[in-house]
């Protein structure tokens, strides 16, 4: 292989004393993709990113950035990436502008025009001191510093938490541009609509373990589609179909969830009665998320 994966994590284990934060986590990010990293609170997203940055040691498993060791080759690797922490703390006496220039200078200089346009686009006042920024504005300072740097990989920990809708839209546009420029983005989030809108592929983790990984399309194969239908006649019998769960039935209206394998038969039966209206919804990420987690918890408890 000539191309090294930007992020390659296999069987990563990290313990803090008696708590196991990461318990055999897998994460693979390909070059040039925007990768969503999803998981509930405390599932180990931040811990994984901090291991990848060499801030934490790993207890077992493999963690590689561009094929290199995140701790041994930290300085070299950090030339190629920029990080935005989840909870950005700034230096209280430095202004936003000074902080951006300091961070970009550490990463080896910045294109001033690009920096200024980002400051404008994110509607950031660079003359305010760190202690006076609101949470969203602190986030913006770190984001501008990361986006303005000329790097191959962006590591963003819940980047849009705290941003208002207008800035959030701007942020999404900026990520789109980064992808077009060929940069790789690893982005953790709880905001599922954001991941749906932004990411090419995603990895879902729970309790420090990877539950699911792939493109949204691939993951959708695994779960149920919601079918809402109004029929011409009385609803036919559906409860003998395996893989179909009827959740609502009133007269001629039916709401059910169907697994991919049962779709064909469900549609045939509904059509035989005569369909007046049909609404078929692909699974939302929320459903994916809850289904995965339910399965994972089920495995653990059984």
Ligand X SMILES: Nc1ncnc2c1ncn2[C@@H]1O[C@H](COP(=O)(O)OP(=O)(O)OP(=O)(O)O)[C@@H](O)[C@H]1O
Interface residues with another protein (CB under 8 A) are: 50, 53-57, 74-76, 78-79, 81-83, 85, 87-95, 97-103, 105-108, 125-129, 131-132, 142, 155
Which of 44/159 has CB closer to ligand X? Answer: 44
Total residues in contact with ligand X, by rule CB under 6 A: 12
Residue-level length of the chain: 302
Which of 25/110 has CB closer to ligand X? Answer: 25
Interface with ligand X includes 38 (CB under 6 A)? Answer: no
Phi, psi (rounded to 5 degrees) for 246: -85, 125
Distance of alpha carbon 30 from alpha carbon 236, whole angstroms: 47
Which of 40/126 has CB closer to another protein? Answer: 126
Strand order in 19-29's β-sheet? 19-29, 7-16, 60-65
Smallest distance from the beta carbon of 153 to another protein, in angstroms?
11
Interface with ligand X includes 85 (CB under 6 A)? Answer: no
Any alpha helices (H) in the chain, and if so which ranges?
45-52, 74-78, 96-106, 112-121, 135-148, 165-180, 192-198, 216-220, 263-273, 285-301
Smallest distance from the beta carbon of 179 to another protein, in angstroms?
21
First to last CA, the chain: 41
Rounded-to-10 torsion of CA 56, 41, 30, 53? -20
- Of 36-44, 68-76, 92-100, 176-184, which segment contacts ligand X by CB under 6 A? 36-44
Smallest distance from the beta carbon of 86 to Mg ion, in angstroms?
5
Interface with Mg ion includes 40 (CB under 5 A)? Answer: no
**CA nearest 131: which of 86, 89, 84, 87?**
89
Smallest distance from the beta carbon of 28 to another protein, in angstroms?
21
Distance of alpha carbon 37 from alpha carbon 49, whole angstroms: 10
Q: Which does 147 bind (CB under 5 to 8 A by kind): another protein, Mg ion, ligand X, none?
A: none
Distance of alpha carbon 205 from alpha carbon 253, whole angstroms: 37
List residues near Mg ion by CB under 5 A: 46, 86
List residues near ligand X by CB under 6 A: 16, 19, 21, 39, 41-47, 86
């Amino acid at each position: 292989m000539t191309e090294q994966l930007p992020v390659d994590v296999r069987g990563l284990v990290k313990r803090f004393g008696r708590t196991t934060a990461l318990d055999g986590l897998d994460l693979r990010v390909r070059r040039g993709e925007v990768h969503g990293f999803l998981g509930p609170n405390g599932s180990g997203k931040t811990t994984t990113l901090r291991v990848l940055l060499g801030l934490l040691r790993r207890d077992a498993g493999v963690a590689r950035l561009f094929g290199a060791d995140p701790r041994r080759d930290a300085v070299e690797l950090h030339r190629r990436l920029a990080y935005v922490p989840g909870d950005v703390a700034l230096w209280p006496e430095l202004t936003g502008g000074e902080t951006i220039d300091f961070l970009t200078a550490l990463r080896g200089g910045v294109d001033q025009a690009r920096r200024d346009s980002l400051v404008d686009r994110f509607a950031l006042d660079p003359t305010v001191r760190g202690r006076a920024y609101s949470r969203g504005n602190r986030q913006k300072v770190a984001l501008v510093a990361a986006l303005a740097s000329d790097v191959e990989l962006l590591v963003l920990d819940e980047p849009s938490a705290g941003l208002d809708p207008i800035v959030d839209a701007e942020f999404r546009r900026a990520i789109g541009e980064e992808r077009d420029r060929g940069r790789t983005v690893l982005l953790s989030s709880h905001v599922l609509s954001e991941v749906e809108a932004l990411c090419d592929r995603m990895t879902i983790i729970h309790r420090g373990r990877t539950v699911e990984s792939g493109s949204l399309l691939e993951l959708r194969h695994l779960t149920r589609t919601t079918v809402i239908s109004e029929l011409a006649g009385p609803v036919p019998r559906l409860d003998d179909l395996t893989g179909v769960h009827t959740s609502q039935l009133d007269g001629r209206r039916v709401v059910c969830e169907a697994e991919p394998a049962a779709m064909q038969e469900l549609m045939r039966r509904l059509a035989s009665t005569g369909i007046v209206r049909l609404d078929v919804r692909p699974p939302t990420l929320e459903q994916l998320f809850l289904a995965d987690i339910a399965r994972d918890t089920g495995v653990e408890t059984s």
